Amino acid sequence: MPHHSLELVDIVRQLAQHQAAMVRELAALRAQLEVPHATREEAALLLAIDMAMGDRSFVAAELMAVALGGGPAAVVLGAHVAGMSVKSLGKRLAAVAGKPSAAGLVLQRLGASSEGVVWGLSKSQTPAD
């Protein structure tokens, strides 16, 4: 095999290795950019929060109070928070925050108050996949 052919084979091999590395890097970057979507259970909680609170901001203690109150929204919400403390509900809300549901509902941390984290529910114009 002529000397030039060996150099060409080596260059092609190096390009293939470089391309494979670029593909791995691109896959890693895409994974970092992906927004996790709400599970079915999380989506059901978001829907219950929407029924109970609508577009009002709230803290976990308020949400718990609504769940313990009366009415259809309380029954639905109560099923999701049964057995939880206000603190564990707050942790649950933090775990769900930022994950859009299939219906386009997203729980967002709006800030903090003396009563704890202030949450709000937004409704995306484009539902999640």
Phi, psi of 19 (to 5 degrees): -65, -40
Tell whether 44 and 24 lie within a shared domain. Answer: no
Asked if residue 129 is part of any domain, the answer here is no
Tell whether 23 and 86 lie within a shared domain. Answer: no
pLDDT per residue over 54-109, tens digit each? Answer: 999 999 999 999 999 888 889 999 999 999 999 999 999 999 999 999 999 999 99
pLDDT per residue over 11-48, tens digit each? Answer: 888 888 888 888 888 877 776 667 789 999 999 999 99
Tell whether 16 and 71 lie within a shared domain. Answer: no
CA distance 102 to 42: 10
Tell whether 14 and 45 lie within a shared domain. Answer: no
Tell whether 7 and 63 lie within a shared domain. Answer: no
Tell whether 99 and 45 lie within a shared domain. Answer: yes
Predicted TM-score (pTM) above 0.85: no
CA distance 48 to 72: 10
Tell whether 23 and 73 lie within a shared domain. Answer: no
Tell whether 73 and 96 lie within a shared domain. Answer: yes
Which long-range contacts does 75-80 make (Cβ < 8 Å, 24+ apart)? 76/47, 76/48, 76/51, 76/52, 77/48, 77/49, 77/51, 77/52, 79/48, 80/44, 80/45, 80/48
Asked if residue 63 is part of any domain, the answer here is yes
The tally of domains found in the chain comes to 2
Tell whether 92 and 109 lie within a shared domain. Answer: yes
- Whole-number pLDDT of residue 126: 55
Tell whether 109 and 48 lie within a shared domain. Answer: yes
Structural domain containing residue 49: 40-123
Give the list of residues 6+ apart from residue 1 with CB closer than 8 angstroms, or none.
Answer: none
